Structures are given as C-alpha cells and as structure tokens.
Amino acid sequence: MTTTDLFTADQPSLREPADYLKRYYGYDRFRPMQEDIVRSVLSGRDTLVLMPTGGGKSVCFQIPALMMPGVCVVVSPLIALMKDQVEALHMNGISAAYYNSTQSGKEQRDIEDNCVKGKIKLLYVSPEKLLTESFFVFLKRITISLFAIDEAHCISSWGHDFRPEYTQLHVLKEHFPTVPTVALTATADKLTRNDIAQRLGMNDPAVFIASFNRPNLSLKVLPGTNRLPQIIKLLQQKPDTSGIIYCLSRKSTESLAAKLQEKGFKAAFYHAKMDPDDRAKTQEAFLRDDVRIMCATIAFGMGIDKSNVRWVIHYNMPKNIESFYQEIGRAGRDGAEAQTVLFYSFADVATYKDMLSESAPANLGLQLAKLERMQQYADAHTCRRQILLSYFSEDLPEPCGNCDVCRDPRVTFDGTILAQKALSAIVRTGERVPMNLLIDILRGSRSQAVLQGGYDQVKTYGAGRDLRFEEWRNYIHQLINIGVIEIAYDQHYALRRGILADQVLFSGRKIDLVRPDDAPKPVVEKVKTKTETQRDDLFERLRALRKKLADEQNVPPYVIFTDTTLEDMARQRPTTPDALRNVSGVGERKLQLFGKQFLDEIVGYVRGRVNAGEKPKGGTQLVTLNLYNQGMTIDEIAAERQLTAGSIAGHLVQLAKAGYDIDIASLVSPFERTEIERAIAVVGMEEGRLKPLFDYLGGRYDYSKLTLVAGLLQL
Ligand code: ADP
Ligand code: ZN
C-alpha cells in the first residue's frame, strides 16, 4: 500500500445518517436532536428546526440532501455567504453550487446542466432569484429532493429581520406539493415560530426546538470603569485569537480600534456608515484571520459565519437580552471554549433611557422593561446563565459553573441599615448632592465641599464613618442597581430616592448587599482554563499551517479545520492517516486534501520535542522515520541516535505496521529473507525474543535483519 492509498482507504458503505456524518464531516456523533431531525426530513415530513447559532443546523438538511435522490434547493438571504458555504461543502467532498445574478449566462447554464444530470446535491439560491419565472421553469426540469429554508424567521414580520421576499415562499408548496420543506432558524419566540410554519404553508410540520444553552460560552460582567486597560489585559491573555468588541457608537468603534492599534494589536473597526468596499474588505480580513480584533457596532455580525470567534466583549451594555444573546452567540460556533465579557455602567443605561424617551416609541414601556431585564442580568448575584435561559423560557436546573458568579460565588449580608443611612443622607441634603459628596458627608469628612454646603450640620453627617470611601461607593452602586437609589443624570448626577426607597425607609423592606470583595472585580486575573492548557505550541503550529493552506486555497481558515478540530489534533497527536481519521472534524475529503501536511507538522513537532530531551509517546519512532526519510540507512540512523541497529529496525517495522510508507522488504536481500524465514519455521519466533533465532543461525545475521524479516511476516 502506498501512502496516498492510506489517505483514501476503502470506505465501508454508507447506510445510516451517522455514516454520512463520519465520512463527510468527520464527526463521530450527532448532537442532540440532529439525528431525529435528519430522520424526520428523510421520512418526507415538513420539519421546523429551532436551534441556536452554532447548534449545527447545516447537517440537518445537508445529510438528508446527500441521502435523497435529486437536488436540495437551499434558500438563504445571505448572498454574501453563499460562496463560503459552497466552498466549505466542497472541502467536505459534497457537490454544491450557488446561483446568483453575478454569474454569467454560461456559468448559470452549466449549473443547471449539472443539476439536471444529478451531479449537484445542494443548490443555494436567494429568495429573489428563486421566485423568478425562469428559475421556476428550471426547477420544473429537475428532481428536487428537498427545500431547505435557512434563516426562516425572515418570513415573519414579528421577527427582527423581516424580508418581504420571504413572504412569497409559500408558492413553493403550491407548485411542489410533494417536496418536503425544512425551515431552520435561530430565533426562538413562539410568535415567529407559528408564523413560519403557516406562511410557508407547511403541512403538519414536525417541530424541533433545541436547547438555547451554549455551555461553551463563558459569561462575565465587569464594571464599566477603565474599560480600555481592562480590555488590553483581556486581549493580552488571548494572543492570536479572533474576537469582536461591540460598541454603541460608530465613533467609539473607530477610536477604540485606533487605541488598540497604538498598543500593537491587530484591530480594525466596522460600522454601517463605512464605504461598502471598505466594509467588505474589513469583514474579509476578519474572516481570514488577518485582522484579529473587530471593534464594531451591531451592524457587524449578521451572517458572519466565522466559527473561530474566541471572544466577544461588549464595550457597552446592549439594550435587551435578545440582542445580547445574539451578539455573544457569534463566539464559539465551533463548540470550543469561548469567552464573553460585558462591561456594565449606569451611564450606559442612562444613555438608553434618554434615547428611548427622546424617540418615544409606541412600545416605550416594553423597551424599558427589556432594558431593565438586561440590567438585572448585569447586576445578578446568581448564575447568569440561569437568568439568560429563563428569559428564553428554558430551565437550567443547576447553576452553570461557567459564569463569573458561579466561579466566584457572592456572599450577601443584610444591608438594610446601610441603605437607610444612605437614603436618609440623600433626603436630608434635599436630593441635590452627587455620589462623592454624599459619601464624604456619610463619612464625616471635613472637605471644602462639605463645609461650604453646611453639610456637617445634617443629622446623618458621619453616620457611616466605619466604612472606607471605596466600600461606600461600592454599596451605593449596588443600591442604584437594585433601585433603592437613582442617579439624576439631568441634575448634575445628584442622587435621589429610587423606586424602592420608601419601602426601605418606611416599610421595613430588607436589602441584601454583597461585600465589595465578592463583587465583580475590575482586575482581570489569569485563570488557567482547560482550553489554554490544550492550546500548546503544537496547536499554534497547526494553526499557522491552517492559515497558510487557507491563504493558498483562498478560503477562510476555519473552512479548512475548525479550532475544535485543531485542539483535538493537538491533544491526540495522530501520526498516521488512520489515527487522523479519529480526530473530530476530519472527514474523508479533508484527509485527502490536507492530511499529509498536518501529519508532517505533527511529526516534525514531536521530533523537536524528542531532540529536546523529552519522551513523548510514539516520538522515538518518528525521529527514526524522519532520518529514514532523509535517506539514511539503518546503521547510520543507529549511529546518529546512539541506539542499536536492532532497535532502529524495530522502529521501522512498527512504523510500517502503522501505515507509513516504508518498504521493509527492500531492506533485506531475497536470499537473507529466505534463509531467516526458514529458520523461523524451525525455531519459531516470539515478539521481542529473537535470541533463539539468532543462535540457531549461528550469529550470521544481526538483530536488525532478524527484526525486519520477522516484521515482514506480520505485515
Ligand atoms: P448553525 O448553522 O446552527 O449556526 P453550523 O451548522 O454552522 O451551525 O454548525 C456549527 C459548528 O458545529 C460547525 O463547525 C459544524 O461543523 C459543527 N458541528 C455540527 N454538527 C456537529 C456534530 N454532530 N459534532 C461535532 N461538530 C458538529
Ligand atoms: Zn453560572
């Protein structure tokens, strides 16, 4: 067998959906619901799939498309993405095409021909194109296995991304009543869900609602003070990874990017007012890992399919939980660990409130309520993921263990008296003083401002002497967050009574506070996570190789292999094509295309480690292999490595058994081989015990020859 054959070994026949998952995508297992969805679609039933971003919707229609006769027509609004999606399918060895108006007449005719001949399994098309008369004529000529409607929420005017063209899609059912439809979306709410089924004219659809939990996203909230230094610390802990920093304004995307560039980071900015060319270029650079840090407004992300976004930072708090969840959802689509950080400050809340009251939308009340829920998330002293999921009506029975609250549980104490002291000082100063002055008054300071205002005369002057300034500040922040105190942004930031104030002062309402030491800390500590340990030097080398190959092929790096796949590879360190097959995400096509390069990289790495005196598993054989590949003989290798020739021969036999292209037979002459084989027939051989054989042959052949011939009998 030659090396190339090893990369294209005969495959068992494909029967079950799981066989397709393994061969084309390189995954061993379906994720929850995927298989049920595939089977539902295969049974010919209309199917509605609600799954979060990164949940794995694609295989839900791509595997049925592979298994059913005919072409699966995929309707997607994201024209800009189609090319990458089709490219990714090709990389997996799946024949696919997209159809759009930038193509020449000839290109389109070729695609049509290939569809008619059954050479294409998936055809991507925008709704506008799909609904043209000429396209319909074409559709009537081919066998359609399935319609897959991606981003199906675009059909609903309830959804946040309504596209009028989508509402016409019901004609598909009218013209092709027997072709099953699968609609997929990451939007969960009930209204949209019912709307989708109805407007597509789906026939008693099977509905699958996957959990919206994304356990690989860590959640963290940091105080919105000194954001830049905090961000820089975060970025320094994540060198060479891609991420997005969401900012509220276009201006802040630009200034933040500039500041980060000054500090030597590869940052760029993105917002809706940029020139379309620049925008496309910036986006492309990010997809290709040329730009790592994207400072962007929320305009960035819709349709960003990049799977290796490792972190999302919110420079400002989003205005509701839906937006927040969608934005952090762009991280970690490959399923590997990803970090999300939200900077939270009251000033942001105030800005939104101002914006809302100025524009006075019809649903002002609703929007304010949503803002409040967002704020509650940021203030929470209980598991943040439970709060998020409960917002989407999903129950997470146990705290998640992957948010800052779970990692660093808060201890609360009865802070009612503290709250009363602060409120009473606020009331007695006529709700006119800002925070710092109020704290001075509470602590009995003799500062100029205190004395000038005559505040040393108020009854609560000095009532809070026992606490440090910083402690007071922290408690007042907490009291603001829970609504006991309010900041009058329009009155020079004076503190005044919040909605809960009267209850605290007069009705004995109890207030729980968290000790400052337990509150979120601005200092970013280095926590060694599982991921970081997995991302060793080998991972970095594999990533560099991926980038090189991606640039050569002109595709985004994650299309070659995802971060999860590289992590798995770095962990398993496969050195043979078969072992590489066991890495999650290595399907047959990618094995053929890239297997050799990645194996060489791993072997080279292991060799370096061995030379540096380490003993990684399988390493010594690989060093021998490397020297052998340089053309050295067994004796030369033995001399170089100061090992016996017998050991080296043993390595070569093991390597050949593992599938490496080593012609053991060429290392012994036919005469030697025959004679040794005869001797083996007489005295037999035992693994690792060749002495009887050596003696029987009167020492005429050294151990390396014996090992080689013995090995040949086992190959
Ligand atoms: P969605 O369209 O729902 O956002 P994708 O279909 O793009 O998600 O899948 C997200 C990532 O998960 C992709 O990298 C995909 O290859 C991977 N993936 C999908 N199914 C599986 C599976 N069964 N096992 C491992 N990874 C999977
Ligand atoms: Zn948690």
Q: Last residue of some domain: 407, 422, 448?
A: 407
Q: Are residues 400 and 418 in the same domain?
A: no
In terms of pLDDT, which residue wins out, 116 or 687? 116
Distance (angstroms) between ligand 1 centre and the Cα of 27 equals 10
Flag whether pLDDT at 455 surpasses 60.
yes
Of the pLDDT bands very low, low, confident and very high (cuts 50, 70, 90), residue 536 is confident
Helix (H) or strand (E) segment spanning residue 148: strand 144-149
Mutate to test the pocket of ligand 1, among 21, 31, 87, 589 (most ligand atoms within 8 A of CB): 31
CB 153 within 8 A of CB 196: yes
Q: Tell me which residue has its CA closest to atom 14 in ligand 1.
A: 334
The enclosing domain of 417 has a CATH number of: 1.10.10.10
561-601 tens-digit pLDDT? 999 999 999 988 888 888 899 899 999 999 999 999 999 99
Q: Does residue 340 sit in the same domain as residue 478?
A: no
> Is 328 in the same domain as 370?
yes
Indicate the top mutation candidate among 20, 24, 25 to test ligand 1's pocket, ranked by most ligand atoms within 8 A of CB.
25
Which ligand lies nearest the alpha carbon of 329?
1
* Nearest ligand for residue 399 CA: 2
Say if 693 falls within a structural domain.
Answer: yes
Closest CA to 51 of 220, 211, 163: 211
CA–CA distance, 665 with 199 (Å, rounded to integer): 69
Test site for ligand 1: of 34, 37, 58, most ligand atoms within 8 A of the Cβ: 58
CATH number of the domain residue 156 falls in:
3.40.50.300
Cβ within 8 Å of residue 179, ≥6 positions away: 144, 145, 146, 147, 172
pLDDT digits (tens, 9 = 90+) for 34-48: 999 999 999 999 999
Length of the chain: 715
- Whether 303 is covered by a domain: the verdict is yes
In a domain, 509, yes or no: yes
d(CA 644, CA 312): 55
What residue owns the CA closest to ligand 1's atom 26? 27
Measured from the Cα of 186, ligand 1's closest atom is 3
Residues 690 and 557 grouped into a single domain? yes
Question: Mean per-residue pLDDT for 121-129?
Answer: 94
Nearest alpha carbon to residue 600 among 620, 617, 615, 580: 580
Which spans in 50-126 are helix H?
Answer: 58-67, 79-91, 105-116
Q: Give tens-digit pLDDT for 642-653.
A: 889 999 998 898
**Closest by CA position to 499, among listed 380, 375, 362, 361:** 375
Both 399 and 436 in one domain: the answer is no
Pick the more confident residue, 114 or 571.
114
Instruction: Name the closest ligand to CA 332.
Output: 1
Res. 528: pLDDT tops 50: no
158: Cβ–Cβ under 8 A, 6 or more apart, which residues?
189, 191, 192, 195
Number of domains in the chain: 4
Ligand 2 centre from 587 Cα, in Å?
35
Helix (H, G, I), strand (E, B) or coil at 659: coil
pLDDT at 84: 85
Q: pLDDT-based confidence at 159, cuts 50/70/90?
A: low
Ligand nearest to the CA of 53: 1
Q: How far is the CA of 212 from the centre of ligand 2 (A)?
A: 15
Distance from C-alpha of 245 to C-alpha of 395, rounded to nearest angstrom:
29
| CA of 150, nearest ligand number | 1
- What is the whole-number distance in angstroms between the Cα of residue 23 and the centre of ligand 1? 15
Ligand 1 atom at shortest distance from the alpha carbon of 562: 14
Q: Are residues 632 and 685 in the same domain?
A: yes
Q: Is residue 11 exposed (0-12), middle (13-18) or buried (19+ Cβ within 10 Å)?
A: exposed
Q: Report strand pairing: 412-414 vs 338-344.
A: unpaired
Ligand 1 site residues (CB inside 6 A) read: 27, 29-31, 34, 51, 53-59, 307, 333-335, 562
CA distance 380 to 97: 48
Give the pLDDT score at 10: 64
pLDDT class of 461 with cuts at 50, 70, 90: very high
Q: Which atom of ligand 1 is nearest to the CA of 30?
A: 23
Phi, psi of 643 (to 5 degrees): -125, 170
Give the pLDDT of residue 544. Answer: 95
pLDDT at 531: 42
pLDDT at 441 over 90: yes
Enumerate the H helices of 483-587 as residue ranges: 501-506, 530-534, 537-553, 557-560, 563-572, 577-581
Residue 541 pLDDT class (50, 70, 90 cuts)? very high
User: What is residue 530's predicted lDDT score, i.e. its pLDDT?
Assistant: 42
Distance CA 57, CA 83 (A): 18
Give the Cβ contact number of residue 446 at 10 Å.
8
Distance CA 73, CA 66 (A): 12
Bigger pLDDT: 394 vs 296? 296
pLDDT exceeds 80 at position 490:
no
d(CA 313, CA 420) in angstroms, rounded, equals 36
Ligand closest to Cα of 326 equals 1
Q: Which has more confidence, 326 or 420?
A: 420
Please indicate, yes or no, whether residues 396 and 420 belong to a single structural domain of this protein: no
Tokens representing 146 are 């399935």
Amino acid occupying residue 116: V
Tell me: pLDDT of 4 over 70: no
Over 90: is that where the pLDDT of 326 sits?
no
Query: Which of the listed residues 34, 59, 209 should we mutate to test ligand 1's pocket, taking the one with most ligand atoms within 8 A of CB?
Result: 59
- Tell me which residue has its CA closest to atom 9 in ligand 1: 56
Residue 199 lies in a domain: yes
Q: Which atom of ligand 1 is nearest to the CA of 307?
A: 14
Which atom of ligand 1 is least distant from the CA of 584?
Answer: 25
Co-location of 556 and 697 in the same domain? yes
> Does residue 123 lie in a domain region?
yes
Q: Which atom of ligand 1 is nearest to the CA of 150?
A: 2
Distance in Å, CA 221 to ligand 2 centroid: 12
15 part of a folded domain: no
Q: Which of residues 407, 430, 445 is at a domain's end?
A: 407
**Domain hosting residue 658, numbered range:** 539-714
- Say if residue 51 is in the same domain as residue 102: yes
Q: If you take atom 13 of ligand 1, which residue's CA is the nearest one?
A: 334
Q: Which pLDDT value is given to residue 518?
A: 58
Write down the pLDDT at residue 166: 87
Closest ligand relative to 63 C-alpha: 1
How many CB atoms neighbour CB 692 within 10 A? 14
Closest CA to 24 of 587, 562, 593, 558: 587
Q: Helix or strand or coil: residue 274?
A: coil
Taking the model in full, what pTM does it have? 0.72
Atom of ligand 1 nearest to the CA of 21: 23
Q: Whose CA is nearest to atom 19 of ligand 1?
A: 56
**Closest residue by CA, ligand 1 atom 23:** 30
Q: Which of residues 146, 181, 209 is at a domain's end?
A: 209
Ligand 2: distance of its center to the CA of 398 in Å? 8
Burial of 161 (C-beta count, 10 Å sphere; 0-12/13-18/19+): middle
State the pairing for strand pair 494-497/485-488.
antiparallel
Nearest residue (by CA) to ligand 1, atom 25, is: 27
Residue at 534 is within a domain: no
Same domain, 231 and 340: yes
- Mean pLDDT of the 327-348 span: 91
Pocket test for ligand 1, best of 23, 27, 563 (most atoms within 8 A of CB): 27
Are both 393 and 419 inside the same structural domain? no
User: Is 262 a domain residue?
Assistant: yes
Indicate if 91 and 110 belong to the same structural domain.
Answer: yes
Average pLDDT, the chain: 88
Positive or negative torsion for Cα 649, 650, 654, 655: negative
Residues with Cβ within 8 Å of 471's Cβ and at least 6 positions away in sequence, in order, are 516
Instruction: Please work out, in degrees rounded to the nearest 5, the angle formed at the alpha carbon of residue 175 by the alpha carbons of 171 and 180.
Output: 90
Atom from ligand 1 closest to the CA of residue 60: 6
Q: Average pLDDT of 189-199?
A: 81
Ligand 1 atom at minimal distance to the Cα of residue 51: 3
